[in-house]
Amino acid sequence: MITDARIVEDLRTSPGVEWITALRAPAIRQLVERGALQLGLFDERDLGEITSPDYPDERLIVCRNPLLTDERRRKREELLVATEHELDKVVAATVRKKGRLKGKEKIALRVGKVLGRFRMGKHFRLDFTETSFRYERDHVQIAAEAALDGIYVIRTSVKHETLSSEATVRSYKQLATIERAFRSVKTVDLKVRPIHHWKADRVRAHVLLCMLAYYVEWHMRRALAPILFDDHDKAAGEKLRSSIVAPARRSPRAESKAVTRKTEDGLVVESFQSLLSDLATIVKNVNRPKIAAGAEFETITIPTSQQQRAFDLLGVSYRLA
């Protein structure tokens, strides 16, 4: 989300603004080639902090996730096999007796479609002639990429005194929470779009109100977590992780909710949206008896045990004044 241009032109020129982002694969490869990143760093640990003259006054936190390493290697091999399967069809088309595929440009066009589909062209050596085509895996290139499997590098301007290496990685991994917040604001709950305003100050006001509304939603989700599918005991989940680099774990209490669909006190577990719909059934009625002209009184829906539990967690009262 943060490019080099934005860092140089915006973030570095904005006093008091700190940031956390991650390097892309080509930049990580450059660190290895220039000796700033030694792959032997991961022989006994999965996290380390390095420096590089290419990133002055910044911290680089290098992580290696073994599960991610295995997954990327498995996926690469599947894509290589799938690519070879389609390339074999092109080879067969150049040697068949009828309707033989000829012409260097035509053969290259067919091969290009295959490589564009699987994006594995960098891992193959190709040889074209006017009447033939052959290929082979580039094992050197494959090995070079495989050496970086599971490795990612966090780049940040935040000083170590503010965030340790582990805390910085944890903060970066909260990107999923940020993405969910964007979805919630734009499409799921608040639906910031479409913006029916034309003046800049009104557009900013519209977005500000949506952000404030999400802030309220964030507090509500935290308070209502015991009766939602959300994990309400994240500290227990953190204790199950061998390292901050390892995948996040849900707590046993959250897993129990997901399996039984019941809370610890026997209530039905709901999503945030379904709970709001349930709470919306509570109404206030104004009653005007015919036998007493001009007299009226108000009544309010008696909440269910589920609704009452939600009110208790939010610390609000539904009673009439």
Q: How many CB atoms lie within 10 A of CB 172?
A: 18
| Closest C-alpha among 149, 153, 28, 152 to residue 77 | 149
Per-residue pLDDT of the chain (321 residues; tens, 9 = 90+): 577 888 888 888 888 889 999 999 899 999 998 889 988 888 778 899 999 999 988 999 999 988 889 999 999 999 999 999 999 999 999 999 899 999 999 999 999 999 999 999 999 999 999 999 999 999 999 999 999 999 999 999 999 999 999 999 999 988 888 888 888 888 888 888 788 888 999 999 988 998 999 999 999 999 999 999 999 999 999 899 888 888 888 999 999 999 999 999 899 999 999 999 999 999 988 888 887 777 888 888 899 999 999 999 999 887 655
| Closest C-alpha among 47, 280, 251 to residue 154 | 47
CB 281 within 8 A of CB 268: no
CB 52 within 8 A of CB 28: no
Per-residue model confidence (pLDDT) at position 160: 92
Tokens of 93: 């088309």
| Closest C-alpha among 315, 309, 305 to residue 227 | 309
231-242: burial string, b at 16+ Cβ within 10 Å, e else: bbeeeebeeeee
Per-residue model confidence (pLDDT) at position 1: 58
Per-residue model confidence (pLDDT) at position 13: 83
Omega before 194 within 30 of 0, i.e. cis: yes
At 286 the three-state DSSP class reads strand
Which residues lie below 8 Å from residue 142, measured CB to CB, with a gap of 6+? 76, 80, 123
Distance CA 61, CA 173 (A): 13
CB 184 within 8 A of CB 190: yes
Q: Residue 24: left (phi > 0), alpha (psi -120 to 50), or beta?
A: beta
Distance CA 90, CA 45 (A): 46
Per-residue model confidence (pLDDT) at position 15: 86
Per-residue model confidence (pLDDT) at position 320: 58
| Closest C-alpha among 186, 193, 174, 185 to residue 213 | 185
**Residue type at position 161:** E
